[in-house]
Every structure is written in structure tokens, then in C-alpha cells.
Structure 1
């Protein structure tokens, strides 16, 4: 097990169910 840390993911376009949706920037837990 390593140390858990948060990584900032900037906003980006993503495809969800065949639609283009904007994903807002958010922190993602890594570890």
C-alpha cells in the first residue's frame, strides 16, 4: 500500500452514452 494523494484533473470533453459532455475539473484520489 502506498500513500494516497489527490491529483487535479482539468476539465475535458468526454463521451457518455454517445453524447459529448463536459467534465468539470476535479480532484481524483490516487494511491
Structure 2
């Protein structure tokens, strides 16, 4: 059960990282 929660937490971190990278690239496109 704890392992499942940890995996879900990791998945959420990955999602946040991808979203942050996407927004950063979008900002770079606008700045260009």
C-alpha cells in the first residue's frame, strides 16, 4: 500500500516536471 502511494507520488512529480518544461518552452517561444 505504501509502495502504491509512493509510485503515485512519483508519477505526480513526473507530470509536474513535464508540465513545467512545457510552460518553459512555451515562454521561450514567446520570448523569441
> Do both share a fold (TM > 0.5)?
no
Structure scoring higher RCO (CA < 8 A, sep ≥ 6) equals 1
> Quick check: which one's strand share is greater?
1
| TM-score (norm: length of structure 2) | 0.17
| TM-score (norm: length of structure 1) | 0.17
> Quick check: which one's helix share is greater?
2
